[in-house]
Amino acid sequence: MKSILKSVLCGALFYSGYHWLFNWILAKLLQEKGELQIFLAHRIINSSSKRSSELNLDKLYIKWGQAMTEKEFVRRASFLKRYCKIISMQKAIEKLKVGRLGYQYKVLTFDDTYYDFISVVVPILKKNRIPATFFLTTGIIETEKYLWFDEVATTVNSLSHPKKLSAKAEFVRLICNFIILNDPYKIRDSILGVLKKKNLTKSEESSHASLYLTWSDIQKICNLDFIEIGAHTVTHPVLTKIPISQAKDEVVGSIAQIESHIGKRIVFFSYPNGQFNKQVQQLVRQHFKAACATGNGSMEDMFALKRTNLGQEPFHVFALRATGLLRRIKMLLNKIRVISI
């Protein structure tokens, strides 16, 4: 109910056209200038030339929340470019260190080594001169392996039941959340084994080659001056659920693989599923300049930087959050609450 009410109020404010004036007044009243916000995305989909099985999988990813359409990505990226200032991760770290946030600074990041990065995202970024950081999971590059959650999605997509897309998306979400919260290595293979026995139609499986980047793709991307490459482990495990020695292999292994192929030092890291603890964070500090988490992070911790899902909220909510208006409204309400007490 609370989220619905927020969406309705944000929609009324955004589409009234007065949100810019309201934002300006609050900025002056609160004497607050700007912020840094890091956005996270995964798949960006253009399904115009795909076969039916890939189209079905694309729709599942969108419904699941792991992807957004190319059209929606262009809309949001264009909004950020027009009304904010999109900067690289390197510049963001520099500004955080010196505390210079006199504007609405934004950073775009992408996780998980998807082929969409080069086929859809890079052309859009290049056309609009927008910087971004790609965090790569290296263990699936030029292999027949899938990231475990992609295997869940492709397997569920192959099932004859449930038939409704929304039900399949919710099924994927529930399975992935269950695996993340529990011991992934003990239950993941068992769950996938059971699913694959249930009405799997081979023709509906997605091609590995159409899903992930190759090292050749990555070398082309890393030579672009507006792209930064970061590490995202080897196999995308939940780092808090494995021994720290194994976590070290995942972190160091991904650095070694990327650096050996692109010839550049890797200084940024993204925690798989945003999961970290003190041990994992200490490990990451030894190898990187900064690391990104998800909603559980903080802009005050260089090794657990908070990221917001680029496509999770309706556009009008996204727009008011990106311009800082939602944050300023919250600040105003907190000040009123303190005064009333």
Residue 258 has pLDDT above 50, yes or no: yes
Residue 208 has pLDDT above 70, yes or no: no
User: For position 202, what pLDDT does the model report?
Assistant: 45
For residues 108 and 74, give the distance between their C-alpha atoms in angstroms, rounded to a whole number.
13
Spell 179-189 as b/e; 16+ CB within 10 A means b.
bbeeebeeebe
pLDDT band at 55, cuts 50/70/90? confident
Token digits of residue 241: 């659920």
pLDDT band at 203, cuts 50/70/90? very low
Question: Looking at this protein, which amino acid is placed at residue 213?
Answer: L
User: For position 169, what pLDDT does the model report?
Assistant: 94
Is 288 in the same domain as 276?
A: yes
pTM: 0.91
* Main-chain dihedrals φ then ψ at residue 108, nearest 5 degrees: -105, 130
3-state SS assignment for residue 211: coil
Is 68 in the same domain as 92?
A: yes
Is 17 in the same domain as 51?
A: no
Phi-psi region of 174 (alpha: psi -120 to 50; beta: other; left: phi over 0): alpha
For residues 59 and 195, give the distance between their C-alpha atoms in angstroms, rounded to a whole number.
20
Helix ranges (DSSP H) in 133-214: 148-158, 165-181, 184-196
Is 63 in the same domain as 199?
A: yes
Share of the chain above pLDDT 90, in %: 58
User: For position 275, what pLDDT does the model report?
Assistant: 93
pLDDT band at 201, cuts 50/70/90? very low
Give residue-wise pLDDT tens across range 234-250.
999 999 999 999 999 99
For residues 308 and 318, give the distance between their C-alpha atoms in angstroms, rounded to a whole number.
10
Give residue-wise pLDDT tens across range 93-105.
999 888 767 678 9
User: For position 338, what pLDDT does the model report?
Assistant: 63
Of how many residues is the chain composed? 341
Determine the structural domain holding residue 12 and report its residue range. Answer: 1-34+324-341
Supply the CATH number for residue 311's domain.
Answer: 3.20.20.370
Over the chain, what is the mean pLDDT? 88
